[in-house]
């Protein structure tokens, strides 16, 4: 069955420091992968997506992610974190043909001054 693992429940990063959030997936076919961000009490906003082609994808708000098929990973990165980046981040895989997303359990990012 398809699954997504985000091993870090919480991560604290100092403002201005770099960030990497981990995501591993289990999926039999070519995965379509997504990163979403959720602020408290809000819906999900798409940060970036990987469908095919270049394995390094750029997203909004200065985020990027790298797809590594050999490691079944799709880690999210940002070179310099801002206090406004504090939120919960979800990695997801689309189950092709079933019109649904399978989400990881999320990583809550805290940004310290």
Partner 1 sequence: KAGVTQTPRYLIKTRGQQVTLSCSPISGHRSVSWYQQTPGQGLQFLFEYFSETQRNKGNFPGRFSGRQFSNSRSEMNVSTLELGDSALYLCASSVDGQGVTEAFFGQGTRLTVV
Contact status, residue 22 vs residue 6, Cβ threshold 8 Å: yes
- By CB under 8 A, the residues from 48 to 107 that bind partner 1 are 49, 51, 90, 92, 94, 96, 98-106
Query: Which among 16-24, 45-53, 54-62, 66-74 is the span making contact with partner 1, rule CB under 8 A?
Result: 45-53
Contact status, residue 77 vs residue 95, Cβ threshold 8 Å: no
CB burial string 62-73: b at 16+ within 10 A, e below: ebbbbbeeeeeb
Q: Report the candidate in 39, 55, 42 with the shortest Cα–Cα distance to residue 89.
A: 39
Query: Which among 21-29, 34-42, 55-63, 77-85 is the span making contact with partner 1, rule CB under 8 A?
Result: 34-42
45: contact with partner 1 by CB under 8 A = yes
- Binding residues for partner 1, rule: CB under 8 A, are 32, 36, 41-46, 49, 51, 90, 92, 94, 96, 98-106
């Amino acid at each position: 069955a398809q699954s997504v693992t985000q091993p870090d429940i919480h991560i604290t990063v100092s403002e201005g420091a770099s960030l990497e959030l981990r995501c591993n997936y289990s999926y039999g076919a070519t995965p379509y992968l997504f990163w979403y961000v959720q602020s408290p009490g809000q819906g999900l906003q798409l940060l970036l997506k990987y469908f095919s082609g270049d394995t390094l994808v750029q997203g909004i708000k200065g985020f990027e992610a790298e797809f590594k098929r050999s490691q079944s990973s799709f880690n999210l990165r940002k070179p310099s974190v801002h206090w406004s980046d504090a939120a919960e981040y979800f990695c997801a895989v689309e189950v092709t043909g079933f019109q649904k997303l399978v989400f990881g359990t999320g990583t809550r990012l805290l940004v310290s001054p």
